[in-house]
Amino acid sequence: MSTTAKRHIFTMLDADGDGVISRSEYLARPERAAAELGRVSEDPLVSVARSAHEQVFASMDADGDGAVTFEEYAAWAGAEAFDEVCRQALGSLFDLADADADGALDKAEFTRLRAALGNPAGNAGTAFDVLDTDGDGRVGRDAYLGSIRAYVTGGSSPMADALHARRGPA
């Protein structure tokens, strides 16, 4: 992943812009996503999302001081981190959005997930169409996670900008 892409994601995760991703800032993400996706806090899928994000944070925070600096993030981000911890966290958010639990997101579920993660709703349809390669109106879990992996390991994927951009392509 390019430094620009890392900076872009780091900036998104540093919600209050103080230059570090704090533990509470990061762990607020699954809580907010769950709430926006209509999941109650006792939902087992919310517990899964919570613990998956705990693991990501512990993995990112190399010195264990409860705050992730850009240096820590930049050294951490990539294929290994994705396979070890990120996949579970991103998959847990996918599952929160998969309201009918069929292992795929339809356009409405996908749009809600993106909104819950703070992505602009405007290009959700385009991002969905890129991922729905066979045009059946559904995006499977593996296709979704695979496209994000392609982004973090290769620096680009068809939906990279749509997925991560808040202010347009980096």
The residue count of the chain comes to: 170
Q: Is 134 a residue that touches Ca ion (CB under 5 A)?
A: no
Q: Is 65 a residue that touches Ca ion (CB under 5 A)?
A: yes
Q: Is 80 a residue that touches Ca ion (CB under 5 A)?
A: no
CB 93, min distance to Ca ion, A: 13
CB 17, min distance to Ca ion, A: 7
Q: Which stretch binds Ca ion (CB under 5 A): 21-29, 36-44, 122-130, 147-155?
A: 21-29
Q: Is 16 a residue that touches Ca ion (CB under 5 A)?
A: yes
Q: Is 42 a residue that touches Ca ion (CB under 5 A)?
A: no
Q: Is 71 a residue that touches Ca ion (CB under 5 A)?
A: no
- Scored b (16 or more CB within 10 A) or e, 92-107 reads bbbbbbbeeeeebbbe
Whole-angstrom distance, CA of residue 117 vs CA of residue 80: 23
Helix (H) / strand (E) containing 73 = helix 70-76
CB 156, min distance to Ca ion, A: 27
Whole-angstrom distance, CA of residue 43 vs CA of residue 22: 25
Q: Is 102 a residue that touches Ca ion (CB under 5 A)?
A: yes
CB 62, min distance to Ca ion, A: 6
Q: How far is CA 69 from CA 100, 138, 169, in A?
A: 38, 37, 23
Q: Residues 29, 162, 19, 93: what is their CA dihedral angle, to the nearest 10 degrees?
A: 20
Q: Is 18 a residue that touches Ca ion (CB under 5 A)?
A: yes
Q: Which stretch binds Ca ion (CB under 5 A): 20-28, 47-55, 79-87, 146-154?
A: 20-28
Q: Is 100 a residue that touches Ca ion (CB under 5 A)?
A: yes
Whole-angstrom distance, CA of residue 95 vs CA of residue 97: 5
Look at the alpha carbons of 58, 61, 64, 68 in this order and tell me if their dihedral is positive or negative: negative
Measured from the CB atom, is 161 or 164 closer to Ca ion? 164
Q: What is the binding site for Ca ion (CB under 5 A)?
A: 14, 16, 18, 25, 61, 63, 65, 67, 98, 100, 102
